[in-house]
Amino acid sequence: MVTRPRPRTGARLLVLALLTAGVALLHPAGPALACDCPEPPPPEEERQRADAVFAGEVTDLVEEGDGPPGPWIDARIEVSEVWEGEIAETVQVRTHAHGATCGYGFESGRTELIYAVEDADGQLTTDLCARTTPVDDAEADLAVLGAGSAPQPGSGIEDGAAPAVAALTAAITAAVVVLLLSTLAIWRRRRRLAAPADGDHGHGVDGPTS
């Protein structure tokens, strides 16, 4: 009787796993969308098309949202010079979080030359299709734009949390006032009800005299 060797199932599974991992490394998964931008127009034409053109340092980056076409980045900018638009000293610029969806790669601490447009909600936005670029790489743009102006004093960022906090504080204050007034009313009522009993205390019926 001839004994046939058993197939080495474990070894085959290992080889299959290695092949799968190799394919995954050679073809990594990525966003389904891809950014396809035409060549941006010259600086002056881009300025006319933009709602705002300014330079400033990125001081904070916050990732927001999770809906299509993916999350976005809100970049807080400390503005130093303005060429287009009424721009405050501090503004927020939004872009998609990934380059595959044309998101611009803001970096905290880097000074950017930003060409931005306003969306339907008035939020400044930019992307890879604009001429937005680090100031260090913007010599040609700056030469065309010339001298800019100073930003307007104050912040152009609306604090969406402030109204909610104010409303919550007002609601809590009102609730505390109502509770105090109710407690005071109950205390006064109990005091009035207890007054007659306190007045009769100590006045018993005189016993018979001898």
CATH number of 83's domain: 2.40.50.120
Please report, rounded to a whole number, the percentage of residues in the chain having pLDDT higher than 90.
50
48 and 63 together in one domain: yes
91 and 137 together in one domain: yes
Per-residue pLDDT band for 30 (boundaries 50, 70, 90) equals very low
pLDDT digits over 152-180, tens only? 999 887 654 344 444 455 667 778 778 88
> Which is more confident, 15 or 143?
143
Give Cβ neighbours of residue 31 (< 8 Å, ≥ 6 apart).
70, 98, 100, 101
What is the average pLDDT score of the chain?
79
With respect to residue 198, please indicate whether it lies within any of the assigned structural domains. no
106 and 73 together in one domain: yes
CA atoms of 98 and 40, how far apart (whole Å): 19
Predicted TM-score (pTM) of the model is 0.60
The pair of three-digit structure tokens given for residue 21, joined into one six-digit string:
């991992």
59 and 123 together in one domain: yes
DSSP string, 125-179: E--TTS--EEGGG-HHHHHHH---BPPEEEE----THHHHHHHHHHHHHHHHHHH
> Which is more confident, 2 or 148?
148
72 and 96 together in one domain: yes
In which domain, by residue range, is 107 found?
43-157
Question: Residue 194 has what pLDDT?
Answer: 78
Count of domains for the chain: 2
CA atoms of 98 and 92, how far apart (whole Å): 18
With respect to residue 37, please indicate whether it lies within any of the assigned structural domains. no
Question: Residue 78 has what pLDDT?
Answer: 98
Are the CB atoms for 72 and 65 separated by under 8 Å? yes
Are the CB atoms for 88 and 155 separated by under 8 Å? yes
| DSSP helix/strand/coil, 94 | strand
Instruction: Taking residues 17-38, report their average pLDDT.
Output: 54
pLDDT digits over 92-143, tens only? 999 999 999 999 999 999 999 999 999 999 999 999 999 999 999 999 999 9
| DSSP helix/strand/coil, 54 | strand
